[in-house]
Structures are given as C-alpha cells and as structure tokens.
Amino acid sequence: MANPEKAAAVAELVDQFRSSSAAVLTEYRGLSVGQLQTLRRSVRENANYAVVKNTLTEIAAKEAGVDAFEGKMSGPSAIAFVHGDPVDVAKALRDFAKNNPQLIVKGGYMDGAALDEEGMKKLADLESREVLLGKLAGAFIGAQSKAASTFQAPISKIARAVDALRAKQEEAA
C-alpha cells in the first residue's frame, strides 16, 4: 500500500475491529446527513458509527481476522463498532431502519462469529444485559424467599467470608 494516508486508515480500522466486542455492517444509500447524525446519536453510548471505504475496510478486516464481511462490502457502507452492549446497538439500528428503510443492515460479527441479517434480528430481539441481570437477581430472590431456610445459611456464610477477606486485605495494606 503506497499511500501513507491509506495505510493509516487501515491501521485505524484494524484497531477498531480488534477493540470492538462486535461490529455491524450497514448500507446507508439514500439517507441524508441529518438522518445519519440521528443514527449516530442513537448508538453513540454503545458504538462508534463510521462511514468506511470498502476496499480499505476489507483489507483491515482481514488483518484483524474478521471474515464476516467478505463479499458484503459494496455500495455506501458504514460500520457500527460496538464498545458497549451489542443488543442495544442492534435494537437502535433495527428501530432506526423501521422509520428509515433506506438503512440496510447487511450483517455483523460478535465474539468472533459472523452474523447474517437474521442473526442481527435475533440479537435485536434479545433483552438488554441490565434486564437479564435484573431477572436473574429476581429469580435468586424468589428462590430464596420460597426456600429461605435452604438458601439463607449458605448466602450469609458467603457474605461473612467475603467480608472477612476484605477486612484481612485492608489490614494487610
């Protein structure tokens, strides 16, 4: 690659691929600048949505070990590099696409696995991490109240043990 600007762009994309927990490839043909800004704001908390050059992105994806976008890099492309909750980003993209059918989600990858359009829809249908953790905590509380005598003793023993370890570490420091 003779052009140092292109080499720098590829290096930046490689870093984004490697530091992201997931990435979603979209085509934004027909969207206005204002619509793209709205989309960026909707995913800003959990992702960086960037317009990319197809050839440079293909090179960067290969260098980063991401093969999920092979053969999909055509037309005006943008990628949401996810650094937060991938479910929230998938939901935001799905909701934006409902109101703006020009946005096409081509696919993505998460945890090293490729996701097609159907996989992205399934990801968007999941509940967020916070909701799932809340349900898990509720299940523990419900189980504890149903069988308080069974669960109370082990939970209180664990809590005392953790507190004792914390106190011991504070004394040592």
Residues 26-44 pLDDT 10s: 999 999 999 999 999 999 9
Residues 116-169 pLDDT 10s: 888 888 888 777 667 767 777 777 776 555 555 555 566 677 777 777 777 777
Q: How many Cβ atoms sit within 10 Å of the Cβ of residue 171?
A: 7
**pTM reported for the whole predicted model:** 0.71
Helix H or strand E segment including 157: helix 148-172
167, amino acid identity: A
What pairs with residue 82 in β-bridges? 22, 47
Distance CA 117, CA 105 (A): 6
> Which of 3.30.70.1730, 3.40.430.10, 3.30.465.10, 1.10.3720.10 is the CATH number of 4-126?
3.30.70.1730
Helix H or strand E segment including 48: strand 47-52
Distance CA 95, CA 75 (A): 22
- pLDDT exceeding 90 applies to what percent of the chain? 46
Residue ranges of the domains in the chain? Answer: 4-126, 130-172
- pLDDT value at 111 more than 90: no
- Kindly list the strands in the beta sheet with 22-27, ordered across the sheet, starting from the edge strand earlier in the chain: 47-52, 77-82, 22-27, 104-110, 113-115
